[in-house]
Chains A and B, each alone.
Chain A
Amino acid sequence: MNLTRLGNINPYIIYALMFFGILIPLITPLGFPVVVAQMVKNVYAAVDALQPGDTIVMSFDYSAGGSAEIFPQTRAMAIQALKKNVKIVCIAFSDQGVPFADQIVDIYVSAGKKYGEDIVNLGYLTGAETGIAAFLADFAKAVPKDATGKETASLPLVKATNNANKVQLVGSFGTGKPGPLEWVRQLAQYKVKYAAGVTTSMAPQAYPYVQAGQCVGVLAGMVDAAGYEVLIKDPGPATKGMDAQSMGHLVMIVLVLLGNIAYWAERSQLKKGV
């Protein structure tokens, strides 16, 4: 058998393998266990330590493209906060982040919480890191009107917690800039805890902030969102996607192995002068 041919698999076969490898576990779940990472436990513990009436800032710094990975993280944190009677100030430093913040508001409102008192959506704030600096210093000054067009300063929740010193936790969820680096830089002068939710590809760059104590934990992509859903005992979209994720990885590992077998076979043929 000529093993070098493994390096020339038709791309359509690869597409089909990946498509069915991911789709089948979504339709008929395989029941792989979800392992909860220590980082997820750290973030869960940070929210769990909050008292009823405390406030979290949740920043939606992602667009529709990254929502499959990030939205389940925000949903899980919001559900835990809801169970703890913790209030949420939503803000977006990505223009497409506002509708995702609206979905978190819907979760709160449908559970009987009041908009303006228990949760607010301050909408999109331009300026990236400069915007973050202005927002942390004074919510109402940086964002005069919320996403619904109401005067921010008139909202009871903003009146009570108008800057970063008056909130107990900041959670930023993003797929690029502004990301953990910008948040860590701007939060350096405040004594508020910080948790980050990022895509899996961004996670290795965010972990050093945890080691340095600048961040309580990093939620990396769908896998950590699934872990979070396990901790809050509320399986959601991330948990449902975990079997498919594992199968996708298995397909990828097999393909990488086949590629390497082809490479070594080709190399040995070259050495033999075939």
Chain B
Amino acid sequence: MSTSFAVWIGAILTIGVYTFLYKENPFYRFVEHAFIGLGSGYALVMGYTNIINKAWTPLSKGRIEFLIPVALGLMLFGRFAKGLTWTARIPLAFVIGMGSAIALRGSVQAEFVQQIQAAMTPINSLDSLLILIGTLGVLAFFLFTVKQENVLMQSANYVGRVTMMLCFGAIFASGIMLRISLFIGILQFLFGTWIHLIK
């Protein structure tokens, strides 16, 4: 058995979470609320550290240009004061505009040009043939402006549907794999770190 107080607390709280499998109970609810509280507290500390490092420290060294982001940040709180709600829109517009611009800067090349180039490979293997058939099938499936009446369109539609089903199956199986991995991590903690049953 571990002699670490932190490990014991972690193990007891973990068991508390799993008691939900039996039914919802006060122990589970306590752990759930404690987790949310701790998470919020941790995020608050990280946020505070960020403000100190990125705003207060440079300001205290005389870098007055940092007053602009600080002022914009403070304006976000305007929504809590009657008559000043409009002030929150300015920093929000700034954040949305900046975020969109930064994302768009790389997305044309990364998400369109390079992905289209990668799909235009020569058909020299079974993989590339399957990619071609799958891509065309899925694109045909989403051609909503064309009536799916002739055999060609119906076949392409079917290929697209099968391709997507295979993709959903792979994603679902990956999801199961993820859950099992996470459960393995929990068991390694409980039966390894805590009670030393796993060597």
A interface residues (Cβ-Cβ under 8 A, vs B): 15, 18, 22-23, 26-27, 65-69, 95-96, 98, 123-124, 126, 129-130, 133, 143-145, 181-182, 184-189, 199-204, 208, 211-214, 220-223, 237, 240-241, 244-245, 248-249, 252
Contact = CB atoms under 8 A, between A and B. Distances in A.
Contact of A237 (B57, B98, B167, B188): B188
B34 interface: no
B26 interface: no
B188 A185 contact: no
B162 to A, nearest CB: 16
Nearest to B61: A144
A48 B192 CA distance: 32
A249 B174 CA distance: 11
A214 B110 contact: yes
Interface in B20-59: 21, 42-43, 46-47, 49-50, 53-54, 57-58
Interface of B: 21, 42-43, 46-47, 49-50, 53-54, 57-58, 98-99, 102-103, 105-107, 109-111, 114-115, 117-118, 131, 167, 170-171, 174-178, 180-188, 191-192, 197-198
Contacts, number: 140
B12 to A, nearest CB: 16
A129 B167 contact: no
A26 B174 contact: no
B177 A26 contact: no
A187 B102 CA distance: 12
Given A188-B110, A212-B118, A26 B187 contact: yes
Contacts of B47: 126
B181 A69 contact: yes
Contacts of B106: 184-189
Given A96-B42, A201-B174, A248 B167 contact: no
Given A27-B191, A199-B174, A249-B180, 20 more contacts: A18-B183, A26-B184, A26-B191, A27-B197, A68-B186, A68-B188, A126-B46, A126-B47, A144-B57, A144-B58, A182-B103, A185-B107, A189-B105, A189-B106, A200-B178, A200-B181, A211-B118, A221-B174, A237-B188, A249-B176
A204 B185 contact: no
Nearest to B176: A252
Please classify the interface of chain A as helix (H, G, I), strand (E, B), loop, or mixed, using the class held by over half of its residues. helix
Nearest to B118: A212
A244 B187 contact: yes
Nearest to B186: A68
B184 A22 contact: yes
Nearest to B47: A126
B198 A144 contact: no
Nearest to B57: A144
Given A188-B106, A200-B178, A201-B178, A124 B46 contact: yes
A267 to B, nearest CB: 19
A67 B185 contact: yes
Given A26-B198, A27-B197, A69-B181, A220 B187 contact: no
B187 A185 contact: no
Given A124-B50, A144-B58, A199-B178, A184 B110 contact: yes
14 contacts: A27-B191, A65-B182, A69-B182, A124-B50, A144-B53, A144-B58, A188-B106, A188-B109, A189-B106, A199-B174, A200-B177, A211-B118, A213-B118, A221-B174
A37 to B, nearest CB: 13
Contact of A15 (B21, B111, B182): B21
For the complex of A and B, the 8 pairs showing the least CB-CB separation, nearest first, are: A68-B185, A185-B106, A212-B118, A248-B180, A188-B106, A222-B181, A95-B46, A200-B177
A130 B53 contact: no
